[in-house]
């Protein structure tokens, strides 16, 4: 917001803002507040929060062993290739080697525990925490990674240093759309950068880059400017309490356009005890597959929202409790469900062994009956076992794909009549990324050699059949298009996926 626009606001609105900030412990005295304008009071509150959090926000430098990249070009692939409609070969410049990951962290305990993003330290050979990074004499302290959770994109570090100032963790559940927030971090190496904005939305779900599906973790959306290097930094409320950890942005250009995302601090507080102990984060698991109701099916069942159980996993917790294929889930623990993401997040946010009451609709003797089934949750399997095991063909290509359904086409902004499979995620520095394949691209054809094969791709089944026997070192040419209808070829050399962890 600008000063000009705020100064034009009505007296009722300005009076309300003034009252809200008088309650802050560091606000002006009553006499001062009466003389200051509401905008000045707001400004002073932001200044005070920035000063308060400065000692608690640090830079994170994660060093990674940089492996030499394959800089071979299209010419090798086109050699003796009998296709007549290929694009001319050209030499690609060698990509830059990535040897260091930069991010931000926030001190959460005076004994040296620091929270940052998992993706900041993922694959690091060493991690250093930098204090006073913008000063003439910055201090670097070696850090140990004590716990990580890729699902929430959170990591906990530990340093040995006295006199630390821990930030206060707030309550993200109390946030409302429109609440003022402040983001602190080090974008593009500009240390201790402070930006101001509001909560734009809550309960957002993003695409998980490792399996190409929506995340279990829900996110806070904010328009406070977040850029590269902000990852792991705190999102704080107007009182200086940490309400989230800045994690991601949505941008077609790579820079901030006012759509940033943070992990809610309450989600982090729930798993902190496990992370600090170095334990694996355990999540609940129902053991079912489900899909949304169509409008026609919703009318049949007489509900506005519900989810059809399409598969009950043998030996799983839902089978043991009596859940059946064809049941329609309409509520959990007495509360109605609004989205499939909400269903997944609720279950994953509970510990294995917890009892959960599932409200379902079921046809019994040609009548619709409502039943409440108590399920004791199991342990959620790893993402690899649930989505894409290490070493599969999609991992070898360094990307994940999804069906080109009407819903997915709309989500990615692709023409509604498109046919193919959608690239839903691309691993950073993986084979697909080197070939400049990007999320949202539509794969419409796959070409291979030894022996020469050309396969149209109109479904996931055809895609999987075309690459089923692929192994590391094999080359594949993908014909892809995107939302602008630009069609191109991408040559990918399959590689063994890198192992997770430091």
Catalytic residue, chosen from 119, 400, 429, 441, is 119
Residues whose CB is less than 8 angstroms from the CB of residue 468 and which lie 6 or more positions away in sequence, other chains included: 393
What average pLDDT does this structure show over 340-367?
Answer: 86
What are the φ/ψ torsions at residue 224 (nearest 5 degrees)? -60, 130
In tens, the pLDDT along 258-273 reads 888 999 999 999 899 9
For the ranges 14-18, 283-287, 488-492, which has the lowest average pLDDT?
Answer: 14-18
What are the φ/ψ torsions at residue 186 (nearest 5 degrees)? -130, 65
d(CA 218, CA 436): 29
In tens, the pLDDT along 301-342 reads 888 888 888 888 888 899 999 999 989 999 999 998 877 767
d(CA 222, CA 332): 29
d(CA 227, CA 192): 13
What average pLDDT does this structure show over 98-109?
Answer: 83
| Catalytic residue flag (residue 223) | no
**Residue boundaries of the structural domains of the chain:** 3-55, 284-379, 388-493
Q: Kindly state which CATH superfamily the domain 284-379 is placed in.
A: PDZ domain (2.30.42.10)
| 60 touches 129 (CB < 8 A) | yes
Q: How confident is the model at residue 97 (pLDDT cuts 50, 70, 90)?
A: low
Catalytic residue, chosen from 45, 101, 186, 231, is 231
In tens, the pLDDT along 147-157 reads 999 888 999 99
Asked whether the domain spanning 388-493 has the same topology as the one spanning 284-379, the reply is yes
Q: Kindly state which CATH superfamily the domain 388-493 is placed in.
A: PDZ domain (2.30.42.10)
| 224 touches 90 (CB < 8 A) | no
| Catalytic residue flag (residue 231) | yes
Catalytic residue, chosen from 48, 122, 149, 153, is 153
d(CA 246, CA 183): 8
pTM: 0.60
In tens, the pLDDT along 385-423 reads 444 433 344 568 888 888 888 777 887 888 888 889 998
Residue 364 scores a pLDDT above 80? yes
In tens, the pLDDT along 428-453 reads 778 888 898 988 899 999 998 777 78
d(CA 394, CA 415): 24
| 394 touches 406 (CB < 8 A) | no
d(CA 24, CA 22): 6
Chain-centroid distance, C-alpha 283: 17
| Catalytic residue flag (residue 153) | yes
d(CA 183, CA 163): 24
3-class secondary-structure state, position 433:
helix
Residues whose CB is less than 8 angstroms from the CB of residue 248 and which lie 6 or more positions away in sequence, other chains included: 153, 206, 219, 226, 231, 260, 261
| 216 touches 345 (CB < 8 A) | yes
């Amino acid at each position: 917001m600008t000063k000009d626009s705020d100064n034009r606001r009505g007296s009722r609105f300005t009076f309300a803002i003034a009252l809200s900030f008088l309650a802050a412990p560091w606000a002006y005295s009553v006499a001062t507040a009466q003389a200051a304008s509401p905008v000045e009071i707001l400004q002073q509150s932001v200044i005070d929060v920035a000063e308060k959090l400065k000692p608690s926000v640090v830079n994170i430098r994660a060093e990674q062993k940089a492996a030499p990249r394959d800089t071979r070009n299209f010419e090798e692939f086109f050699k003796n290739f009998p296709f007549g409609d290929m694009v001319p070969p050209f030499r690609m410049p060698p990509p830059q080697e990535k040897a260091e990951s930069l991010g931000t962290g926030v001190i959460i305990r005076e004994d040296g525990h620091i929270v940052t993003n998992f993706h900041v330290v993922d694959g690091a050979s060493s991690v250093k925490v930098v204090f006073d990074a913008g000063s003439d004499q910055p201090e670097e302290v070696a850090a140990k990674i004590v716990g990580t959770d890729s699902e929430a994109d959170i990591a906990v570090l530990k340093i040995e240093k006295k006199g630390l100032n821990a930030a206060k963790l707030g309550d993200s559940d109390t946030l409302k759309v429109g609440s003022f927030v402040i983001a602190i971090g080090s974008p593009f190496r500009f240390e201790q950068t402070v930006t101001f904005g509001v909560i734009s939305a809550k309960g957002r779900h993003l695409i998980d880059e490792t399996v190409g599906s929506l995340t279990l973790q829900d996110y806070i959306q904010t328009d406070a400017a977040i850029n590269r290097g902000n990852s792991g930094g705190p999102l704080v409320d107007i009182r200086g309490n940490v309400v989230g950890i800045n994690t991601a942005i949505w941008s077609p250009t790579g820079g901030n356009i006012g759509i940033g995302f943070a992990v809610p601090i309450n989600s982090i507080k729930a798993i902190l005890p496990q992370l600090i102990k170095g334990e694996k984060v355990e999540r609940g698991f129902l053991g079912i597959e489900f899909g949304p109701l169509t409008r026609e099916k919703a009318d049949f069942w007489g509900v506005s929202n519900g989810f059809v159980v399409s598969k009950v996993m043998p030996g799983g917790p839902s089978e043991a409790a009596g859940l059946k294929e064809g049941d329609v889930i309409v509520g959990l623990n007495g509360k109605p469900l609004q989205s499939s993401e909400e269903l997944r997040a609720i279950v994953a946010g509970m510990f294995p062994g917890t009892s959960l009451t599932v409200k379902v609709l079921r046809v019994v003797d040609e009548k619709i009956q409502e039943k409440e089934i108590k399920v004791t949750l199991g342990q959620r399997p790893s993402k690899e076992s649930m989505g894409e095991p290490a070493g599969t063909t999609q991992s070898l290509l360094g990307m994940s794909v999804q069906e080109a359904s009407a819903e997915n086409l709309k989500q990615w902004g692709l023409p509604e009549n498109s046919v193919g499979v959608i690239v839903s995620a691309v691993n950073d520095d993986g084979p697909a990324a080197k070939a400049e394949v990007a999320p949202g691209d539509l794969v419409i054809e796959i070409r291979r050699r030894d022996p020469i094969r050309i396969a149209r791709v109109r479904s996931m089944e055809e895609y999987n059949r075309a690459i089923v026997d692929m192994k590391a070192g094999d080359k594949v040419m993908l014909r892809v298009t995107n939302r602008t209808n630009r069609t191109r070829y991408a040559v990918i050399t399959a590689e063994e996926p890198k192992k997770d962890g430091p």
